[in-house]
């Protein structure tokens, strides 16, 4: 497990700043907190990188293979060419057949973060304010977790407080 301050400083912020080359709204304090909280809730901040016992997700942000494929369908749109190029620049394996391999979700935290951030980006509902951690947890639960059996907004807050603060 990595210290949260190192994850934030070395992976989360630089990757979000890179994504913001496409649209500045991809990087803000709310996005930082949301991605740190997602990593805390989904993988216990990196403890479960291969697969969490509760599901098939991979990596710090517990991205599922099907979600990974959906993100690349979204990135294939002509209007997303610049974003696609940014995400591909983060991949170690630059092949597009139809996307970099799912193993990048485990082995490449910046790439995995970018894919997870784009999953949130695709949602038309605005992200809550950075100062409202419970609302960010509700956002995670509704749009990322989507599993009524595992995870609640309060669990997100509890994981954030345990692993990030």
Tens of pLDDT along 48-69? 666 555 568 899 999 999 999 9
Give the domain extent around 35.
4-163
Checking if the pLDDT of 148 tops 90, the result is no
Q: How many domains, the chain?
A: 1
Long-range contacts of 96-101 (CB under 8 A, 24+ apart): 96/72, 98/69, 98/72, 99/68, 99/69, 99/71, 99/72, 99/75
What's the predicted TM-score (pTM) here? 0.94
Average the pLDDT over 34-51 and give the result.
Answer: 85
Average the pLDDT over 58-87 and give the result.
Answer: 96
């Amino acid at each position: 497990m990595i210290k949260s301050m190192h994850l934030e400083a070395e992976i989360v912020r630089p990757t979000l700043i890179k994504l913001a080359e496409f649209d500045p709204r991809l990087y803000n304090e709310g996005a930082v907190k949301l991605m740190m909280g997602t990593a805390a809730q989904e993988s216990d901040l990196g403890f479960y990188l291969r697969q969490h016992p509760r599901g098939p997700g991979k990596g710090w942000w517990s991205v599922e293979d099907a979600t990974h494929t959906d993100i690349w369908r979204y990135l294939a749109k002509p209007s997303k060419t610049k974003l696609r190029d940014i995400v591909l620049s983060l991949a170690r394996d630059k092949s597009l057949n139809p996307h970099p391999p799912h193993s990048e979700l485990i082995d490449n935290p910046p790439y995995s973060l970018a894919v997870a951030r784009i999953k949130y980006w695709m949602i038309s509902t605005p992200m809550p304010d950075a100062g409202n951690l419970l609302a960010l947890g509700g956002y995670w639960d509704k749009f990322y977790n989507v599993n009524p059996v595992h995870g609640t907004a309060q669990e997100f807050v509890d994981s954030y407080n345990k692993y990030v603060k």
